[in-house]
Amino acid sequence: MLFAEKQLDITSPQVMGILNVTPDSFSDGGQFNSIENALMQVEQMLADGATIIDVGGESTRPGAADVELQQELQRVIPVIEAITRRFNTIVSVDTSKAEVMRQAIAAGAGLINDVRALQNPGCLEVVAECELPVCLMHMQGMPRTMQHDPQYGDVIGDILDFFNDRIAQCVAAGIERERIIIDPGYGFGKTLEQNYELLARQQELACMGLPILSGMSRKSMIGNLLNCELEQRLAGSLSAAVIAALHGGNIIRVHDVKETVDALAVLNKTLQFRR
């Protein structure tokens, strides 16, 4: 798949490293420090084997408030510019705002990652006008309320219906089907049971014939199962990453890049001997 002039083979699962540029990373004094800090994090993630860096300035955790446009632009655009200037890597922009997408593309982003699947005003048009891949994520409800009793007929069937609808909208707007990546959206309007059914049956999404992105790193589906805090979720997250890769995941979005790359290397070596 081609991400802004950069070719990436996703037939073996690739690791997307999460770079967080939300306010706490700014607490130690202004933009210079936060950009230097971001570049150091990126350098480490690339050394550890990440092939995509996901940059996001809006918290989408359950209960998060909407971040204003100007604030999101100020957080994200200088960081994307700095990364693309310094490193030869693929930068993904995690945003749902058309203007952030537009400026991120101009700053060198190689992938649009939208947890709202281009449903906000202007997003379809911005993505149609560029040639970048786009990740459409499934979410039931909106971040503030999505964990209040999510309901499905059939979790996979409902998510496939959602993707068929969104892909039709994308294609009608001029976004080629070949540019689309789908993501079941673990934790976005799903109970623990629904998240694990989705992971068990993730391979069924492959019937769409599109690459699959999976993100479960440190999420509540790990923490609530194991009854542990964020910093104790590494082993659970690695297990989820390996299962996602085994069930058709092409890109795995994680915080702990080195550990995930190692875990996936063991999986890949094993799969080499499958008959």
**String of b and e for 137-161 (b: at least 16 CB within 10 Å)?**
bbbbeebeebbeebebeebbeebbe
Please count the CA atoms within 13 angstroms of the CA of 3 that sit on its side-chain side. Answer: 24
Binds ligand 8Y7 by CB under 6 A, chosen from 111, 135, 244, 261: 135
Q: Binding of ligand 8Y7 at residue 17 (CB under 6 A)? A: no
81 is a contact residue toward ligand 8Y7 (CB under 6 A): no
Q: Which amino acid is at 159?
A: I
Q: Is 13 in the site for ligand 8Y7 (CB under 6 A)?
A: no
The residues near 80 (Cβ < 8 Å, ≥ 6 apart) are: 55, 91, 93, 104, 107, 108, 109
Q: Does 185 bind ligand 8Y7 (CB under 6 A)?
A: yes
> DSSP code of 65?
P
Q: Say whether 258 is catalytic.
A: no
Tokens (6 digits) for 104? 């991120």
Binding of residue 256 to ligand 8Y7 (CB under 6 A): no
| DSSP E strands, 150-217 | 180-183, 213-214
Nearer to ligand 8Y7, 128 or 134 (CB): 134
Helix, strand, coil percentages (3-state) for the chain, rounded to 5, are 50, 15, 35
Q: Which of 137, 155, 221, 263 binds ligand 8Y7 (CB under 6 A)?
A: 137
Q: How far is the CB of 186 from ligand 8Y7 (least distance, A)?
A: 5
Q: Give the residue closest to ligand 8Y7 by C-beta.
A: 215
Give me the least distance between CB of 249 and ligand 8Y7, in Å please. Answer: 11
The alpha carbons of the chain give a radius of gyration, in whole angstroms, of 18
Reading phi first (left if > 0) and then psi (alpha if -120 to 50, else beta), residue 216 is in alpha
**Member of 57, 110, 133, 215 binding ligand 8Y7 (CB under 6 A):** 215
Instruction: Give the nearer residue to ligand 8Y7 in terms of CB position, either 36 or 220.
Output: 220
Query: In whole angstroms, how close is the CB of 127 to ligand 8Y7 at the nearest point?
Result: 15
The residues pairing with 212 across neighbouring beta strands, listed in sequence order, are 182
User: Does 55 help bind ligand 8Y7 (rule: CB under 6 A)?
Assistant: no
Which of 72, 81, 183, 256 binds ligand 8Y7 (CB under 6 A)? It is 183
- 219 catalytically annotated: yes
Binding site for ligand 8Y7 (CB under 6 A): 56, 60-61, 94, 113, 115, 135, 137, 183, 185-186, 213, 215, 219, 253
Active-site residues, by number, are: 219, 253
